[in-house]
Structure 1
């Protein structure tokens, strides 16, 4: 291992802290969305952040909050659901980053004991450090149902340099 300067070590610690902050931000989404915690959900995104799901695009905190408050989402919560995200593969370049992961929406089976995986989705999280905090600027999610766009999200994430 080459001799490391104090600055080299400080840079490595900063990168590790950034990676941890990004992973924690992503991990906060599941508990926030499944509990209907509007403020916690919107804190994941930058004020003008975009959530691009294959069912529609939400722009900014107001539209993302409206999705959380929507009757459709409230029905998922009240019926029993869990958004499960795997740890992301993160690439960081200064104050921007991209994280790639898969997620599952698991719902309580109302007709039998147990749960059903409703969907498995490829996710690309574009992040920016704003006022010292990582925020999602664009999250693009596509169902892994054989479509090219979902596989392309996953491939782009793991072929980028970490």
Structure 2
């Protein structure tokens, strides 16, 4: 005997639609988590093209205290630049926390912390601890970053605001 839909016409399609919506949201969140998780290993391996490919062609990456990179070529140049290459030469690790993700259809915002560790002698030192706000959009190829704001957690309201999910 087939399960009952409670006697309401159209109940089954609505349930199926809700399940499909929930599944899509779960898949979107996982895709965004995966994209953000890829950043650190790509940066630490010096894969400038790989880092740039996480971003939309016209994306902006604003690094507090270092300016803005606009477009994939400029974002790749951050990884290929002398500051990052020197950091890699001494040994470094870009570590990002799991993001809090807010989905809005084909757009999303993700907030997380990042820590850059540098090797010093036999140990490691945190050289940059930052707040991050990632703005993302779904494209035909999947999710990519349209803007990333990264600010040092130096006690400033601007850095704290990046982590505040009450800010649109």
TM-score, normalised via structure 2 length: 0.88
RMSD between superposed Cα atoms in Å:
1.6
Partner secondary structure for residue 36 of structure 1: coil
Distance 1:79 1:73 in 2: 10
Q: Which runs of 4+ in 1 moved over 2 A?
A: none
1:84 is paired with a residue whose SS is strand
8 Å contact kept, 1:104–1:121: yes
Identify the match of residue 126 of structure 1 among 135, 144, 160.
Answer: 135
Tell me the CA shift for residue 132 of structure 1: 4.2
How much has 1:67 moved relative to structure 2?
1.2
Match of 2:36 in 1: 26
For structure 2, the 5+ residue unaligned runs are 1-11
The gaps in structure 1 that reach 5 residues or longer are: none
TM-score (norm 1): 0.92
- Distance between the aligned counterparts of 1:38 and 1:77, measured in 2? 13
After superposition, the C-alpha distances for 1:58-92 in whole angstroms (9 at most, x for unaligned) are 00011011111111111111110000000000000
Residue 147 of structure 1 and its aligned partner are, at CA, apart by 1.1
Contact 2:106 2:138 (8 Å CA) reproduced? yes
Say which of 94, 99, 102 aligns to 1:83: 94
